[in-house]
């Protein structure tokens, strides 16, 4: 069955190429297609295009389909083009001509758009929760290890004292910024396109405000052309947000890989969370974080993939948009898997609490000793030169004391303030 059926069937090769794996991906949209249809027919009844009895039987049938979807019993039959066609066919088989009335006042264009908006809204909220779980884990580790010093680096050279509190806390706060991008994408997705039809509206007296309220959208895509232009635009915003979270997670994974190696030895994990070598008996490899790094790097290509598929398309719907699902739908699952795996691994991380006792980290304290002289009244340039000459002449002896008190420093992490920012952003998702 095809919603555009005109009494002929396309060549099988054409159909296979144009449909691709859309049927499989559409299964993820099925519940949203039914929910969108239920709102749509309530609106149709309110403007007189359905009787109250027709609405009642349609809603009962749609409820049954919705329940089957939630039980995992819904399928798209062979020969049926997509989820929209399957739902309409089921209604027609059960209700006859009444089932055919469900499509009045809409097109597949706005039907799939509303499905996608509802789907994206839920997926973004799920991703935000997963980010929140990792955020809380990082903050807890930051508090737990706030007094454990570690080397800080610039140019991969020993620079200044840092702490595990700073390291864990830095990634927690960075996730808050990533969450802002997820929230922005959520706001873009949380607008109702239903009623824009094929992109130019309808001569029916549709009540788009009603469907906006029924589907609990925050607002509406008012201009019907703009509503259709949101296809691709919404996906770009989501891809940028996914990429940002992935960049943070991938960078953290790189840190862990580096810090686990024997040359650093800053962190370790239980043996059962590492993997071995087929030839080197001593190896305990950070494969989880290497795979995580690769997956996150791949996810960072998402904005470019979507941009290339949607750049310079003419106004109106184009079939190119169908392929956006191929790259974006799996991305949600892959990112969530990485977030959950990172949280799991961090539950078992072991921190080396005695890193800086080694003499190779003596130079970490040069800035501390320059500042100590300045606080004693020595001009900064003279203090800098004094310590610098000691380093140059190999006579420098570090005091090994650290006293940082300003906001966000080793001694004042401001984790409570960062948690406040996180809560404020999460409210964007209604959390």
Token pair in block for residue 99: 């089932």
- Please state the rounded mean pLDDT for residues 290-299: 97
Q: In sequence order, which residues have a C-beta less than 8 Å from that of residue 76 and are 6 or more positions away? A: 23, 26, 27, 82, 83, 86
Please report, in angstroms and rounded to a whole number, the separation of the first and last CA atoms in the chain.
41
Q: What does the pLDDT look like over 328-366, one tens digit per residue? A: 999 999 999 999 999 999 999 999 999 998 999 999 999
- Cα–Cα nearest to 137, from 164, 163, 169: 169
- Please state the rounded mean pLDDT for residues 61-83: 91
Q: How confident is the model at residue 109 (pLDDT cuts 50, 70, 90)?
A: very high
Q: What does the pLDDT look like over 2-16, one tens digit per residue? A: 454 555 566 667 666
- Tell me how crowded residue 430 is: count the other CB atoms within 10 A of its CB: 11
Q: Which residue has the higher pLDDT, 39 or 5?
A: 39
pLDDT of residue 15: 63
Q: Under DSSP, is residue 7 helix (H, G, I), strand (E, B) or coil?
A: coil
Query: Contact at 8 Å (CB) between 270 and 316?
Result: no
CA angle 195, 122, 131 (to 5 degrees): 145
Segment among 20-29, 54-63, 303-312, 373-382 with least mean pLDDT: 20-29
- Please state the rounded mean pLDDT for residues 361-389: 94
Q: How confident is the model at residue 285 (pLDDT cuts 50, 70, 90)?
A: confident
Q: What does the pLDDT look like over 168-214, one tens digit per residue? A: 999 999 999 999 999 999 999 999 999 999 999 999 999 999 999 99
Helix, strand and coil percent figures for the chain, each rounded to 5: 65, 5, 30
Q: How confident is the model at residue 279 (pLDDT cuts 50, 70, 90)?
A: confident
Q: Quick check: 431 pLDDT over 90?
A: no
Q: Which residue has the tokens 């470019």?
A: 304
pLDDT of residue 14: 64
- Tell me how crowded residue 9 is: count the other CB atoms within 10 A of its CB: 10
- Please state the rounded mean pLDDT for residues 21-37: 90
| Average pLDDT over the chain, rounded to an integer | 92
Dihedral sign, CA of 316, 317, 320, 326? positive
- Please state the rounded mean pLDDT for residues 263-283: 85
Q: How far is CA 291 from CA 12, 279, 327, in A?
A: 39, 21, 19
- Please state the rounded mean pLDDT for residues 217-224: 97
pLDDT of residue 16: 65
Q: How confident is the model at residue 23 (pLDDT cuts 50, 70, 90)?
A: confident
pLDDT of residue 42: 98
pTM exceeding the 0.75 threshold for the entire prediction: yes
- Cα–Cα nearest to 268, from 353, 357, 341, 339: 353
40, 46, 47, 49 alpha-carbon torsion, rounded to 10°: 70
Q: Distance (Å, rounded) from C-alpha 151 to C-alpha 138?
A: 19
pLDDT of residue 4: 44
Q: Quick check: 1 pLDDT over 70?
A: no
- Write down all domains in the chain, each with its CATH number in brackets: 12-104 (1.10.275.10), 109-203+223-357+405-429 (1.20.200.10), 359-392 (no CATH)
């Amino acid at each position: 069955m095809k919603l555009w059926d005109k009494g002929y069937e396309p060549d099988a090769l054409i159909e296979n190429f144009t449909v691709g794996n859309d049927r499989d991906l559409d299964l993820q949209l099925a519940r949203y297609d039914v929910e969108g249809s239920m709102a749509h027919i309530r609106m149709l009844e309110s403007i007189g295009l359905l009787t109250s009895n027709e609405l009642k039987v349609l809603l009962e049938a749609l409820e049954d389909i919705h329940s089957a979807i939630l039980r995992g019993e819904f399928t798209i039959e062979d020969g049926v083009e997509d989820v929209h066609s399957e739902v309409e066919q089921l209604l027609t088989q059960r209700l006859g001509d009444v089932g055919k009335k469900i499509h009045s006042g809409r097109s597949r264009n706005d039907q799939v758009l509303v499905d996608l908006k509802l789907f994206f809204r839920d997926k973004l909220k799920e991703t935000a929760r997963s980010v929140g779980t990792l955020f809380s884990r990082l903050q807890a580790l930051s508090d737990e290890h706030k007094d454990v010093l570690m080397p800080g680096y610039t140019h991969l050279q020993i620079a200044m004292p840092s702490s595990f509190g700073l390291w864990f806390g830095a990634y927690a706060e960075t996730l808050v910024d990533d969450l802002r991008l997820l929230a922005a994408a959520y706001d873009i997705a949380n607008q109702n396109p239903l009623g824009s039809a094929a992109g130019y509206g309808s001569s029916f007296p549709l009540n788009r405000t009603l469907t906006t309220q029924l589907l609990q959208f925050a607002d509406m895509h008012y201009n019907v052309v703009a509503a259709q232009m949101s296809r691709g635009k919404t996906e770009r915003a989501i891809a940028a947000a996914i990429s940002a979270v992935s960049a943070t997670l991938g960078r953290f994974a790189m840190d862990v890989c580096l810090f686990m190696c024997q040359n650093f030895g800053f962190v370790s994990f239980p043996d059962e969370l590492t993997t071995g070598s087929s030839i080197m008996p001593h190896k305990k490899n950070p494969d989880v974080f290497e795979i995580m790094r690769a997956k996150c790097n791949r996810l960072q290509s998402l904005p470019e993939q979507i941009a290339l598929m949607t750049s310079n398309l003419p106004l109106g719907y184009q079939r190119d948009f169908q392929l956006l699902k191929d790259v974006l739908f799996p991305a949600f699952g892959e990112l969530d898997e990485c977030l959950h795996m990172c949280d799991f691994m961090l539950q078992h991380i072991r921190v080396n609490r005695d890193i800086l006792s080694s003499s190779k980290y003596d130079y970490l304290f040069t800035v501390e000793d320059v500042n100590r002289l300045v606080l004693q009244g020595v001009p900064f340039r003279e203090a800098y030169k004094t310590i610098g000459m000691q380093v140059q002449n190999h006579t420098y002896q570090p005091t090994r004391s650290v006293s940082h008190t300003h906001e966000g420093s080793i001694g004042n992490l401001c984790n409570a303030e960062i948690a406040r920012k996180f809560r404020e952003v999460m409210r964007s998702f209604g959390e």
